[in-house]
Structure 1
């Protein structure tokens, strides 16, 4: 990451390197640039810098960890978009999100799933009208 002293240049470089910037990055650049730089240094070391894991693997891990932590849908979506840009398929991303089910539960999964659904434009099947008629309603 650049060591630019200019907050605008720093945000521009973040966008180039990450493929996204979050709203809090933009506000911190203006109001507490030093803390943004410190926090971004940690992100660079753990996530952006090339080490043993490639960027695709890290992106999938990030999507799952954000899902498990119940991050905002927009935050999860920013990483889904980066994953797609890296060549990760929608199915691979969905399978990664599904890993959250056994450990974090349905509620956490649904947040990640909804983020994925919106980004990739996935739709579902509607039950036939007959499915609602004449049944006992019990599963």
Structure 2
């Protein structure tokens, strides 16, 4: 990554991560040094393959973001990367469901809604009405 050119740095972030968040774009222009420091931590813990592969890390990220009720767009960016890495949509849903016992229905619904939008999930409408 370019240590002196914010534009090249952000472009390289997209290539390595598969996405870039709005705060990355803003920090690149407003405080490039702090963006680089924060990205260094993310690279060490998340992007570099060590014991866990990238697919597993994406699933963990999706669950942790769901439990924290992160912005839907943030969760969706990791869902998209997971799908690009070959993770099955059902595997992602199963990971999100882990939020149910630990974080509750509200947190689960937040992650589930993000998942539904990315994968185009459809539901079943009732065929009966109650008067």
TM-score range, shorter chain: over 0.9
The aligned length equals: 131
1:11 aligns with 2:14: no
What TM-score, normalized to structure 1?
0.92
What TM-score, normalized to structure 2?
0.98
Is the partner of 1:129 in helix, strand or coil? Answer: coil
Q: What is the CA distance between 1:129 and its match in structure 2?
A: 2.5
Structure 2 match to 1:96: 95
Q: What is the CA distance between 1:4 and its match in structure 2?
A: 2.5
Q: Deviations over 1:36-87 (max 9, x none)?
A: 0000000000000010000000000000000000000000000000000000
Q: Deviations over 1:91-120 (max 9, x none)?
A: 000000000000000010011000000000
Distance 1:129 1:27 in 2: 51
Distance 2:44 2:105 in 1: 31
Unaligned runs of at least 5 residues, structure 1 = 134-139
Unaligned runs of at least 5 residues, structure 2 = none
Structure 1 match to 2:106: 107
Structure 2 match to 1:78: 77
Q: What is the CA distance between 1:25 and its match in structure 2?
A: 0.2
Structure 1 consecutive aligned stretches of length 4 or more whose deviation exceeds 4 Å: none
Query: Contact 2:18/2:81 (CA < 8 Å) preserved in 1?
Result: yes
Distance 2:76 2:90 in 1: 15
Aligned-residue RMSD, C-alpha: 0.8
Distance 2:3 2:79 in 1: 28
Structure 2 match to 1:49: 48
